[in-house]
Amino acid sequence: MFDVLNLYAESQPSVNPVISIITPTWNTKPAWFSDLAISILEQRFLDWEWCIVDDCSSDVRFKEILNELRNLPNVKVEELTFPQGISRVTNRALELASGEFVCFVDHDDVLARDALLRCVQALLNQHDAVYTDSDKIDELLNDSEPFFKPGWSPEFFRGVMFVGHLLAVRRDLALTVGGFDPGFDGVQDFEFFLRYSEATNRIAHIPEVLYHWRAVHGSVAAAIDAKGDLGKLQQQAVRAQLQRLHLQAGAERGDYPHRVKIVPFRRSTEPRVSVIIPTKDSPDILRKCLHNLFARTTYSNFEVLCVDNDTSDPIALEELRNAPVQHILMPGKFNFSAANNMARPFASGDYLVFMNNDVEVVTPDWIEQMLYHAEQDEVGAVGALLLYANQTIQHAGVILGCRGIADHVSRGAPADSDGYAGSVSCAREVSAVTAACMMMKRDLFDEVLGFDEHFFTAYQDVDLCMKIRAKGKRIIYTPSARLIHHESLSRGTYYDMVDHFLLLDTWQTEFAAGDPYYNPNFDLAGCNYELSKPASLVVSA
Amino acid sequence: MVAVPFNKESFEAVRDARYRAADYRELLAGARFFRDGRGPDVLHAWTPRELVSNFCAGLRERYDYSLFVHLEDNEPHLLSCALGMPWEHIASMSEAELDRLIPSHLSHPRKSYDLLSRACGVSVIIDRLRELVPPGIPTLELWPSADQNLFKRLPSTEAARRSLGIPVNSTAIAYTGNVHEANAQEVRSIYLAVAVLNREGHPATLLRTGRDFKQFLGPDERWARKHSIELGQIPRSEVPSILSVADVLVQPGVTGRFNDYRFPSKLPEFLSAGKPTIVPAANIGLQMVHGTHAYILPSANALAIAQAVRTITSDPALSKRLAAGARQFFEERLSWDRSVRKLSEFYGSKCSDRPCETLQEQSTVPDLLALARSTAR
C-alpha cells in the first residue's frame, strides 16, 4: 500500500473528475486491492475519482487500507454500518459519485492503462454507454481467456450476459433507470444493463481487452456456478424485460450454462405468411421440400408460391401442379432476385418467407419461432439455423468480410453446439442471413424495393439485409427455427464474380467498417471465431 | 529548383522542364541551390510528411527561408488507414510510441501540425483541406490543371474507334491512368459498371491505359477484361486521342474521408476533352453543376455509374450539354496560368506577413481529437 500511496502522489489526478470509478468492497484481499489501485493510478486519463463503498468488511488489514485511502483527494470511501448486499452498496457509490460518467470495477480486478481514456472518448462521442472486451487473470496476474464481444446486440444480450466488464455509463441515466436492484444480487450488473439499454440504444463497444477479471477460487470467473444458481436469476431478469417490452415470450434455461432461451408464447393470432420458393426441375429436392413443409409445419395460416423457371422435368411439373401451391411461371434466364420479386404481387401474406427448394423443415414450429422476431418493430429480417444433412451447421448468420466477401459463420460446427459465447445456441443480431430461409414483413420488403435484380445469382440476400439495416432495422438469427439446407444442390458450383464484386462495391463503406457483430480480433479467413493474431494479454499493473 | 527525396533522374522524362532537380541528400550536404550561391527565399513543402518535414528542418539549419506547405490529402485519415488504428488511439499515443510507429512517407500527427503552424502560408488542393490547417495560418486553394497545349478537345472518328477495336454499337468509356493501392477499388467500380451494363443488355467497352500495380479484379479477371480494351502504358501525348473516342468519361469514388479531401488528378484531363463526365459529389464535384458541367452522383459506385451511362447515352441533348459544360468548366476554372498567378501573389503577400520562425520556438500543439472530429464525415 505504501507503493500505492507514493504512486498516487506522483500521478496527480484532476480535481474535476469526468468519470467516477465505482467499486463495492467486502473483505478484499489487500494484495488484489493494491493491484486494482495501482492500475487506477496508472491510468493515462487523469480526470477520475474513485468511489469505494465497503459492505461491512471484517478484515482488519483491509480496513486499514481503506482508512489510508480515505484521506486522498479524488478517492471517496464510505463504510456501511450494516451489510446491505452488492446492489445497495453499488447504489450508494453511485450517489457518492460526482462524475458525468461512471464505470463499475470489481474490487479484485484490474484495469488496462487506457481503459478510462477509451471509455471517456467513446462516451464523449455521443454514446450513453460503452463496454469493452476483457480477459481473466489469476492470483499472479497471468492472463488468459480473452473474451471478444460483438457490437451492441439487445436480442443476444437476453440470451447471454456478454456485456460484463468494463461497463461505463452516464451517471444521471443510471440513476434515472433506478440503479441496481437488490432482488437480483449476483446478476445485478446484467439486470441493471437490461433496464439501462431500454432507455437508450447509443451503446458503443470497444474491441480491446481493457479489463482483467480475477479468476480465483470462488469467483464466477473461475467457475461459472461458483455463486449458486445464477441461471434462475438471469432468467427472471430476462422475463421481467420481456414483460416491460411487451414481448410475447418467456425466458427459460438454455441448453448451456448461463444461457437463456427465449420461448415465444402460444399465439392467439396467426398473420398470414407467404412462403416463396424459386424452383427449376430437381423433382426429388422439390418433393422433399414441399412434403416437409406441409407435413411438419404446425403454423396453419401460410401459403406457398413456387416460381417456376422453365421446369421441363415431368415429375417436377407434376409436383408443382398437384401440390397446394401457387404455380407462377418465370420463363427465360434464371435470376434469383427477379424470381422472388415476381412472386411478390401474388403473395397475400403480411410476412414473406424466402426459401430455397433444397430446404427441408425440421422444427415444426419454425414459422412461429421466426415470426416472434419478425413481428417486432425494430426487426427487419429473421434467419434460421440451417443444417447440412450430416447435422452440422450450414448457416448460423452471415459475417461481412468473411473470406473476403460475406459468408456463413460457424459453418461445419455441430448443430447442438453453443458456439462462441452462445453465438450458435442463442438468438442474436447478425449483419445478414441467407435467403435460403428468411422471413420479413411484406411492407418492409416493398419499402426497400425488394431484391436488387442487378444481382443475378448470389449475394442478393446480403444486399437485401444491408438495405434493411440501412433503414435502422436489426437482422436476427434464431436457432429455434431449424431446417436442413442441402446448399447449391440445385444451382451447382457456378460462382458469379460480378455479383461478388457488386456486393463489395455497393456496400464498400460498410465492408470497410467491418462487421459490427464479429469482433475485429477474430480471423475473417476461417470465420469461426478464431483469433486473427495473438491478443494483447499484457496486464498493465 | 525541385528537391526530391531520391531518384532525381526520373525528372529526365519531363520535357522542357523549367527547373533543376536535386535530391535531399545533396542539398543538405551543401550543394548549390542557385547560381548565385544563395539558398531559397521560399521553400514550398509538398505535404507535411515526415520525410519532407525532416528535410525542411535540416535545411533550416543552413538557410533562412519562408516556408509554405502544400496539402493534397487527408493526412490523419491516411495515417489511420496505414496503421490500422482509429485516429483517437493515435492522438493519445506518447511521442516515443509515435516516433516508433510513423513511417517516413506519412505525416506525424504532432510534428506535421507543428510544421504547418510555422508556415507563412498553406496551399490546399481542395477547400476541405483547410480544416487541417492551424488557425491563423493563411491558406490558398490551388487547383491543378492539364497542359492546355496538349489536352484539347479532339474530334472523335469512327475510324479511330475502329482502329482501337471498339465495337460499333458499344458505348465507349475511357479511364486513362495507373491502378495502385489508393485507387484500385474505384477503378474496379468502372470495370464492374461496364460488366453490369453488358450483362443487362447495354453493350459497353472500357478503354483503359496505364499499368496495374495491384491485383484488383480477383484471381480470375475474365469477368472484367472481356469488356475492356487494355492499351497499357502510352505516351502522354496520346492520351487526348484516347479520351476523344470515348462516349463517357468516369471519375469513380464515394464521398468520405478520402475523397472529400482530394483532387482527382485525372479530372482536368477528362474535362478538357469536352466529353460527358460522371463524377461523385465530392471534392471538385461540389463545385460543378449537375447536368451542366458533369453528371454528379451522390456516390459514384458501379451501379450508379451504370445507370448514369444509360441515362446519358439515351438522352442526346443531355450528352451534348454535358460535353460542352465539361469543356467550359475546364476553360474557366482549371488554368495553370491562373493557379500560377494566385500562387505567386500568395508568396509575395505572405512572405512579408510572418517572420521566419526558428526550430527553438514551440508552437501550440492542437487538440488532435477535435481535429479528427472536424474531418469526420
Query: Tens digit of pLDDT for each residue in A126-170?
Result: 999 999 999 999 888 888 899 999 999 999 999 999 999 999 999
Q: What pLDDT score does B198 carry? A: 98
Provide the sign of the torsion angle of the four alpha carbons A198, A200, A205, A211, taken in this order: negative
Closest CA to A299 of A395, A245, A377, A374: A374
B228 touches chain A (CB under 8 A): no
Query: Nearest residue of B to residue A117 by CA position?
Result: B92
Query: Tens digit of pLDDT for each residue in B166-183?
Result: 999 999 999 999 999 889
- Under DSSP, is residue B43 helix (H, G, I), strand (E, B) or coil? strand
C-alpha cell at A367: 414459422
In this structure, how many other beta carbons lie within 10 angstroms of the beta carbon of residue A289?
29
Q: What pLDDT score does B375 carry? A: 42
Q: What pLDDT score does A380 carry? A: 98
CB contact under 8 A, A505 and B196: no
Q: What pLDDT score does B373 carry? A: 44
Chain B residues whose beta carbon lies within 8 Å of the beta carbon of residue A118: 88
Q: What pLDDT score does A228 carry? A: 59
Q: What pLDDT score does B153 carry? A: 85
**What are φ and ψ of residue A154, in 5° steps?**
-60, -35
Query: Could you give the CA distance from residue A509 to residue B26 in angstroms, rounded to a whole number?
Result: 44
Q: Are the CB atoms for A34 and A64 separated by under 8 Å?
A: no
Cross-chain CB nearest to A508 (options B196, B217, B254): B254
The secondary structure of B285-303 as a DSSP string is GGGS-BTTTBEEESEE-HH
C-alpha cell at A119: 471509455
Confidence of residue B92 (pLDDT cuts 50, 70, 90): confident
Q: Are the CB atoms for B220 and B243 separated by under 8 Å?
A: no
Chain B residues whose beta carbon lies within 8 Å of the beta carbon of residue A204: none
Cross-chain CB nearest to A497 (options B88, B218, B301): B218
Cross-chain CB nearest to B302 (options A44, A117, A502): A502
Residues of chain A predicted below pLDDT 70 = 1-15, 217-228, 488-493, 533-541
Instruction: Compute the average pLDDT of residues B292-306.
Output: 97
Closest CA to B195 of A451, A505, A404: A505
Q: Are the CB atoms for A384 and A482 separated by under 8 Å?
A: yes
> Which residue in this structure is represented by grid cell 440470451?
A159
Which residue type does A223 have?
A: A
A89 to A77, A106, A191, A362: CA distances (angstroms): 12, 12, 16, 49
Q: What pLDDT score does A1 carry? A: 53
In this structure, how many other beta carbons lie within 10 angstroms of the beta carbon of residue A417?
17
Chain A residues whose beta carbon lies within 8 Å of the beta carbon of residue B303: 454, 502, 505-506
Q: What pLDDT score does A215 carry? A: 87
C-alpha cell at A414: 455441430
Q: How far apart are the CA of B267 and the nearest CA of chain A, in angstroms? A: 21
Query: Could you give the CA distance from residue B56 to residue B60 in angstroms, rounded to a whole number?
Result: 6
B182 touches chain A (CB under 8 A): no
CB contact under 8 A, A509 and B189: no
Q: What pLDDT score does A72 carry? A: 84
Single pTM value for the model? 0.91
A466 to A367, A434, A508, B257: CA distances (angstroms): 23, 12, 11, 21
Q: What pLDDT score does A10 carry? A: 56
Chain B residues whose beta carbon lies within 8 Å of the beta carbon of residue A509: 254, 256
Chain A residues whose beta carbon lies within 8 Å of the beta carbon of residue B220: 497
More confident residue, B306 or A46: B306
Which helix (DSSP H) or strand (DSSP E) does residue B13 occupy? none
More confident residue, B363 or B6: B6
Cβ contacts below 8 Å, chain A against chain B, sum to: 44
DSSP B316: H
B234 touches chain A (CB under 8 A): no
- Under DSSP, is residue A287 helix (H, G, I), strand (E, B) or coil? helix
**pLDDT above 50 (res B359):** no
C-alpha cell at A109: 480486478
Q: Are the CB atoms for A108 and A150 separated by under 8 Å?
A: no
Query: Could you give the CA distance from residue A96 to residue B142 in angstroms, rounded to a whole number?
Result: 57
Instruction: Compute the average pLDDT of residues B48-60.
Output: 93
Q: What pLDDT score does A221 carry? A: 64
Q: Which residues contact A212 (CB under 8 A, 6 or more apart)?
A: A109, A110, A111, A112, A134, A135, A136, A137, A141, A143, A539, A541
Q: What pLDDT score does A227 carry? A: 54
Chain B residues whose beta carbon lies within 8 Å of the beta carbon of residue A508: 185, 254, 301
Which residue type does A302 have?
A: F
CA angle A177, A183, A186 (to 5 degrees): 100
CB contact under 8 A, A506 and B303: yes
CB contact under 8 A, B303 and A497: no
Q: Which of A37-46, B41-50, B90-99, B167-176 has the lowest mean pLDDT?
A: B90-99
Provide the sign of the torsion angle of the four alpha carbons A64, A70, A75, A76, taken in this order: positive
Chain B residues whose beta carbon lies within 8 Å of the beta carbon of residue A456: 199
Q: What pLDDT score does A8 carry? A: 57
**pLDDT above 60 (res B358):** no
What average pLDDT is seen over chain B?
89
Query: Could you give the CA distance from residue B340 to residue B329 in angstroms, rounded to a whole number?
Result: 18
Q: Which of residues 91-150 of B touch A (CB under 8 A)?
A: 92
Query: What ipTM was assigned to the predicted interfaces of this complex?
Result: 0.88
Confidence of residue B372 (pLDDT cuts 50, 70, 90): very low
CB contact under 8 A, B301 and A508: yes
B185 touches chain A (CB under 8 A): yes
**pLDDT above 90 (res B364):** no
Which helix (DSSP H) or strand (DSSP E) does residue A31 occupy? helix A30-41
Q: Which residues contact B373 (CB under 8 A, 6 or more apart)?
A: none
C-alpha cell at A30: 489487500
Q: How far apart are the CA of A149 and the nearest CA of chain B, in angstroms? A: 18
Q: Which residues contact B224 (CB under 8 A, 6 or more apart)?
A: B188, B191, B192, B194, B195, B217
Q: What pLDDT score does A6 carry? A: 60
Q: Which residues contact A264 (CB under 8 A, 6 or more apart)?
A: A248, A249, A368, A369, A371, A372
B218 touches chain A (CB under 8 A): yes
B192 touches chain A (CB under 8 A): yes
Q: Are the CB atoms for A355 and A276 separated by under 8 Å?
A: yes
